[in-house]
Amino acid sequence: MTWGLVLGLSAVAYGFKVLGLVVIGSRRLPPPLERCLVLVPAAVITALIVKDTLSTGQELVLDARAAGVGAAAVAAWRRAPLIVVIVLGAAVTALVRRVAAAE
C-alpha cells in the first residue's frame, strides 16, 4: 500500500463525512436509525477482534489467543480496570502457549 493510496482514501472518507453534514444539515435522523447508528462502532470493533482472534491468513484457528481474549472479556465484564484486563489477557495467552509448547 502506498502513501498516495492512504492519503486518497483518507480524503474520500473525509469527503463522505462532509457530504453527510451538507446533505443532512441540522435535521435530526429518525430515532430507529439513530439507535442503530449508535451500535455500529461496537459491532465493528467486535468484528475486528473476532477476526483477529480466530483466524490466521485464510484459515480459522482456535488457539491461545481465544483463551486470552476470553479471559480479558470476563475481566472487562466484571468491570476490572483496563490495565488489569490487558495484562490478564496477555498473561493467559502466554500461559496457554507455554502449556501447549510443553506438551
Q: Which domain holds residue 65?
A: 31-102
Pairwise pLDDT comparison (61 vs 79), residue with the higher score = 79
Predicted pLDDT at 24: 78
CB atoms within 10 A of CB 89: 21
Which is nearest to 96 in space by CA: 74, 78, 69? 69
Tell me whether residue 67 is in a domain. yes
Pairwise pLDDT comparison (87 vs 26), residue with the higher score = 87
Tell me whether residue 65 is in a domain. yes
Structurally, how many domains does the chain consist of? 1
Tell me whether residue 75 is in a domain. yes
- Evaluate if residue 58 carries a pLDDT over 90: no
> pTM for this structure?
0.65
- Evaluate if residue 34 carries a pLDDT over 80: yes
Tell me whether residue 23 is in a domain. no
